[in-house]
């Protein structure tokens, strides 16, 4: 990257820039990357906030909205021509059976291959990829991953299309590190593995909140409180992406081809107890200190849901929250504890747990259809 302490010269492209995480990355770049000249936001569906940003909130930075599909190699290459850094966060996040395994593979794996090829073709040298903790686990055997780091041995066995696709895509990204791009310089890549992300705009939190309102302000415990699940605030995930993108040139030898868990100081709790940190102040209570239904019954219901999904598929898309995969993930301890990102590029969470919590609560309270 050119040394541009004073004059903004850099062109960034964010794929999936209109998604939950993508929007936070876009806003964080505008706030925290003074060298930015142009920010290209590439997404299948462009959001209306982007128009407001283009007219009001971007300051001197040119924000370019590009409606495009990562599965279309020519669209990706055209969008990327002339950019210095690409943050590839576009993905099909589906663990509920909304999309077919083929579509998930196409978007997550072929889409990533297209981004890498476009880097090579257009001479874009820096690629930051949003991977996922799901690349590691939880595995199908339900083995706990307790306070693990990037080097913790774990038997990663995937069957579900989403983690399979993220694992393949991450591998492509890491293997691409060092490939010569147009102009002869080496590509520098790195992958971030967020745990379960939460914060403003989180669709599953929205679903749980509305479910709680429908049940008269109550949710029923389904997962034992002893199962701990790693969570990270979206603002800190965005911050880590921005920081990596900024440091990748100076620390290419150290960071190139590396993976980093994406974490912060959010407390280790069960998925449901953690959600209650936000939903409780918004009038939702979690009923039961133990799961109301025994595990075997939940597993049976999850299997039934899977069967119903399959039977109904020709007629209607039935995608309940409970299925064998979500039940297994929610019931398996998976927490990370690492300082690799701090050691390699000085990452420290930008938002404290208290601030992350307050921001998320505020978002739930101001959500359309909220109890307040
Ligand atoms: N939500 C979570 O808890 C976690 C998410 N991740 C990863 O973070 C990334 C972002 O996830 P979220 O923001 O949660 O999902 P999201 O669904 O809110 O955002 C994904 C964005 O990608 C776009 N997109 C999808 N297919 C596309 C295509 N073919 N071409 C161009 N754009 C396309 C969507 O329109 C959307 O704006 C994904 O790669 C996901 O695998 C990783 C760990 C945890
Ligand atoms: C929806 C699940 C909780 C419902 C359980 C039930 C039905 C028993 O009440 C969510 C529990 C864990 C979530 C996943 C986890 O946070 C890791 C993820 C990482 C990603 O990359 C994408 C999202 C997800 C798979 C996330 C999805 C929802 C859960 C399965």
Residue positions annotated with a catalytic role: 162
Looking at ligand 1, which atom is closest to the CA of residue 194?
43
Supply the pTM of this predicted model. Answer: 0.96
- Verify whether ligand 2 is closer than 6 Å to residue 130 (CB atom): no
Q: What is the CA radius of gyration of the chain?
A: 21
Q: Which residues of 113-146 are buried (b: 16+ CB within 10 A; e: fewer)?
A: bbbbbbbebbbbbbbbbbbbbbbbbbbbeebebe
> One digit per residue, pLDDT tens: the chain, 372 residues?
545 456 779 999 999 999 999 999 999 999 999 999 999 999 999 999 998 887 766 688 999 999 999 999 999 999 999 999 999 999 999 999 999 999 999 999 999 999 999 999 999 999 999 999 999 989 878 899 999 999 999 998 888 999 999 999 999 999 999 999 999 999 999 999 999 999 999 999 999 999 999 999 999 999 999 999 999 999 999 999 999 999 999 999 999 999 999 999 999 999 999 999 999 999 999 999 999 999 999 999 999 999 999 999 999 999 999 999 999 999 999 999 999 999 999 999 999 999 999 999 999 999 876 666
Q: Which residue has 């495009």 as its token pair?
A: 68
Question: What are residue 277's phi and psi, to 5 degrees?
Answer: -55, -30
How far away, in angstroms, is 109 Cα from ligand 1 center?
A: 13
Question: What are residue 263's phi and psi, to 5 degrees?
Answer: -140, 170
Ligand 1, from 19, 43, 78, 200: best to mutate by most atoms within 8 Å of Cβ? 19
Question: What are residue 165's phi and psi, to 5 degrees?
Answer: -70, -40
Looking at ligand 1, which atom is closest to the CA of residue 203?
18
For residue 226, give both structure tokens: 């002893």
Rounded to two decimals, the ipTM of the complex is: 0.97
Residue 114 in contact with residue 72, Cβ under 8 Å?
A: yes
Beta strands in 2-156 (DSSP E): 10-15, 36-43, 62-67, 85-88, 126-130, 145-148
């Amino acid at each position: 990257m050119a040394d541009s302490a004073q004059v903004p010269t850099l062109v960034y492209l964010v794929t999936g820039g209109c998604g939950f995480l993508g929007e936070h990355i876009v806003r964080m770049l505008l706030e925290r990357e003074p060298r930015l000249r142009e920010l290209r936001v590439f997404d299948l569906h462009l959001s209306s906030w982007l128009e407001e940003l283009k007219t009001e909130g971007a300051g001197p930075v040119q924000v370019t909205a590009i409606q495009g599909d990562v599965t279309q190699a020519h669209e990706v290459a055209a969008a990327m021509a002339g950019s210095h850094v690409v943050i590839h966060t576009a993905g099909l996040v589906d663990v509920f059976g909304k999309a077919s395994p083929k579509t998930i593979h196409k978007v997550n794996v072929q889409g990533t291959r297209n981004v890498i090829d476009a880097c090579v073709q257009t001479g874009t040298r820096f690629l930051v990829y949003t991977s996922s903790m799901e690349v590691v686990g939880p595995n199908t055997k339900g083995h706990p991953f307790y306070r693990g780091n990037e080097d913790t041995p774990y038997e990663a066995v995937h069957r579900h299309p989403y983690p399979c696709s993220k694992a393949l895509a991450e591998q492509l990204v890491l293997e691409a590190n060092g490939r010569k791009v147009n102009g002869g310089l080496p590509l520098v890549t790195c992958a971030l593995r967020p745990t379960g992300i939460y914060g403003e705009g989180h669709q599953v939190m929205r679903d749980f909140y509305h479910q709680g309102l429908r049940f008269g302000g109550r949710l029923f415990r389904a997962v034992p409180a002893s199962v701990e699940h790693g969570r990270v605030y979206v603002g800190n995930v965005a911050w880590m992406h921005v920081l990596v993108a900024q440091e990748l040139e100076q620390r290419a030898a150290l960071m190139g081809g590396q993976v980093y868990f994406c974490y912060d100081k959010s407390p280790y709790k069960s998925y449901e107890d953690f959600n209650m940190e936000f939903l409780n102040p918004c009038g939702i209570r979690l009923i039961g200190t133990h799961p109301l239904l025994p595990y075997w019954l939940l597993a049976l219901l999850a299997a039934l849901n899977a069967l119903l999904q399959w039977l109904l598929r020709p007629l209607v898309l039935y995608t309940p929250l409970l299925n064998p995969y979500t039940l297994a993930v929610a019931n398996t301890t998976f927490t990370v504890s690492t300082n690799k990102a701090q050691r390699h590029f000085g990452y420290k969470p930008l938002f404290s747990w208290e601030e992350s919590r307050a921001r998320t609560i505020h978002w739930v309270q101001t959500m359309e259809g909220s109890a307040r």
